[in-house]
Amino acid sequence: MNKKNATQALQLREALGSQVRSSTGKKVSGTLWPNGEFSFAYVPESVTQVTRGEECSWATKSPGESPEGGPPLDLTMLHNLPEQNPTGTTPPKRARYGLKGMTAEARRKVRASVYLLQDRYSKDRLSFVTLTVPPLHDVQSERRLASRWHDAVRYLLRRLKRLLLDHGLPPIVVGVCEIQVKRYEVTGRFPLHIHLVIVGRRRSRGGWAIHYSQFRQAWSEILEGIVGHPIETRYLENVKGVKKDAASYLGKYMSKSQNEIEKVIEDGNEWMLPKQWWFSSSEMKSWLKSRVRKGAKCGQLLESIVHEVWDNPGAYPDLWLRKIVVDLDGFEYVAGWIGKIPVSWCVDVVSMLDCVMKVTCT
């Protein structure tokens, strides 16, 4: 932690003191990720009883302004709640997973997972691996692969973990699926590719522990086992090192716009889209879970941090935050906040949270 961030972290700790509680008196639940990203939401006791009085006074004001009160809302269902179906009617069919692309929660998990990899092993030891799907014989083969895409990913994880362990590397994998837009626009063929991050070197200055041909062999055998015939294996894989930041690398493949997904759906090719846009090994999931802080106390601490930053504009320039607002018939209700603190603050903030949790438990 550099001197500037250390000073800000100490200033924040002193400002918050030992009392971590909700300034609004409302229930709050939050999540703090190891890369500094966070979110928290207010939880009304009843979703049908959100009132103006519940709105946190500091959350919607500008510096120097005072919030205005108002009468409570009526007890109507919120717009985002499903209406009850009349008796005897069949509820509408629920759209399958994957048609909206990668969720915000999934993006946070991927970014946090890759951060942990790079933080522990350094970017010099990480490998970016791209696995493509070659042109298949016919549409039936493409449909067969699309229907078993989850199996292909599962088999791939199993083979990669075995390869990594055989070469003395940690069996940790994080990956995302991507629509190859140009390929789809030109050929209209199955467009999915896979991009993943692993630890590919035993030492920072050593060579790659796994030869690229081993990735090709594993992926081609998986694809051939699913489609039932030989495939073209040239240009099936690409392996390279990390030059800047691993999270940024995967980030560009997570940023595919909803318009691109909707184009595939409009063309009648919904079957090409995966139900799950990201994946990671069980070891990575367990590691991430151990480093994430969640719950009411976490939400209260995050709210206290946001409160301190909001009341002292300019004091913490390295902290990014944004409020999540729900429009209820023209009334602006602050449902929660998302943001990111500097990674160098995380250790200090987590120690504050763990201290509060320990005191609460005893």
Instruction: Please tell me the least confidently modeled range out of 49-58, 81-90, 127-136, 311-320.
Output: 49-58
Q: Distance between CA atoms of 110 and 126, rounded to whole angstroms? A: 15
- Name the band, by pLDDT with cuts 50, 70 and 90, for residue 78: very low
Give residue 182's pLDDT: 87
More confident residue, 54 or 337: 337
pLDDT band at 159 (very low <50, low <70, confident <90, very high): very high
**pTM (predicted TM-score):** 0.79
- The mean pLDDT value for 67-71 works out to 37
Mean pLDDT of 224-236: 92
pLDDT confidence tier of residue 257, bands split at 50, 70 and 90: low
List the one residue out of 118, 109, 128 whose CA is nearest residue 276: 109
Distance, CA of 157 to CA of 141 (rounded, Å): 22
* Half-sphere exposure of residue 346: CA atoms within 13 angstroms, side-chain side: 20
Cβ contacts of 10 within 8 Å, gap of 6 or more: none
Question: What order of strands is seen across the sheet that includes strand 37-43?
Answer: 293-295, 27-32, 37-43, 331-340, 320-328
Q: Which of 118-122, 182-186, 286-290 has the lowest mean pLDDT?
A: 182-186
Q: Mean of the per-residue pLDDT values for the chain?
A: 81
Domain ranges of the chain: 20-52+292-362, 104-275
User: Secondary structure of the chain: what % helix, strand, coil (to 5)?
Assistant: 45, 15, 40
